[in-house]
Amino acid sequence: MKTRKLGSTGLEVSAIGYGCMGLSFGYRSPISREDGIAMIRAAYEHEVTLFDTAEVYGPFENEKLVGEALEPYRDEVVIATKFGFEDGDSSKGQDSRPERIREVCEASLQRLRTDRIDLFYQHRVDPKVSIEDVAGTVKELIAEGKVLHFGLSEAGADTIRRAHAVQPVAALQSEYSLWWREPEDEILPTLEALGIGFVPFSPLGKGFLTGAIDENTQFGPTDFRNSVPRFSEENRKANRKLVDAIGAIAEAKGVTRAQIAIAWLLEQKPWIVPIPGTSKLPRLEENLGAAALSLTSADLELISKALAHIKIVGERYSAHAQARINR
């Protein structure tokens, strides 16, 4: 697989990374430890070098899984994890106090079975702690060799600039896909101006862009999509127009909807590295196949014209979750 550089800090990773969250958290009951390890190692064997996790995924179990799976290959991969929630619980408020950042760092190092965190993200901006203090604390951890690169997640442009002035930000991780294009307005220009990479999560619209979800799909009781307005039955039916448009383009090229969605992201900027996640090997191989798919200017124009006539319905998060974003 080709590689890409995230920003100007020298962090080089595979063009497509692997989001590990869904193995332990968010969508369904966690898969077995053995199956989780097998999936992560399969991604590595397919030349993925960027693996994304966080203390809240589980909580804590996902980091343990990633640490065990990647321990034999530690020097060949980039591990990204996150701090920023009270007690590592995403249902609680943000907590990015300097002492808490240090606690998370030490605990994550143990769970990940490593002596350094390659990319340490603030998971959500904490309105109670200045971003300068957050960036300054990570800067100290970098000086100590415990962290190599600093990242932010779902931060607004002003916050990104302020953090970057204290400690260069290697990457921003935020949602970006064919059905969530808000980052194009202000975030992408800011990242380009500052030399910061972009790691889109949910590049397949939390599964919707694959075409496997429609208004009749029933989500399990632990699936967070049950609380997402965009995934209400009515909104899924309305948003099917987008999936159908992508499907027509995919069929014409002999590829899948997922591959079109990921390839479209890769075409937006050379410093964008999406991190689709899956617990199934065929889906992993399908997603990674997008790295070899070239979209022509005509393809991109066709996609742009199709999207221009489609209105996406429904908010991407509940009001409570949305309040934590883009501060």
Coil/strand/helix, residue 95: coil
Which residue out of 44, 57, 121, 176 is catalytically annotated? 57
Residue showing tokens 């060799």? 145
Q: Say what angle helices 131-143 and 98-111 make with each other, to 10 degrees.
A: 40
- Let me know: does 171 contact 119? Beta carbons within 8 Å: yes
In angstroms, what CA-CA distances link 202 with 105, 125, 159, 289?
25, 19, 22, 17
CA distance linking residue 188 with residue 220, whole number of Å: 35
Please tell me whether the peptide bond between 200 and the residue prior to it is cis, using omega within 30 degrees of 0: no
**What's the CA dihedral at 303, 304, 308, 309 to 10 degrees?**
-20
- Cβ atoms of 254 and 248 within 8 Å: the answer is no
Number of residues written out for the chain: 327
**Residue 199 is inside which H or E element, if any?**
strand 197-201
57 is known as an active-site residue: yes
Residues 121 and 151 sit within 8 Å (Cβ to Cβ): yes
Instruction: Supply the residues annotated as catalytic.
Output: 57
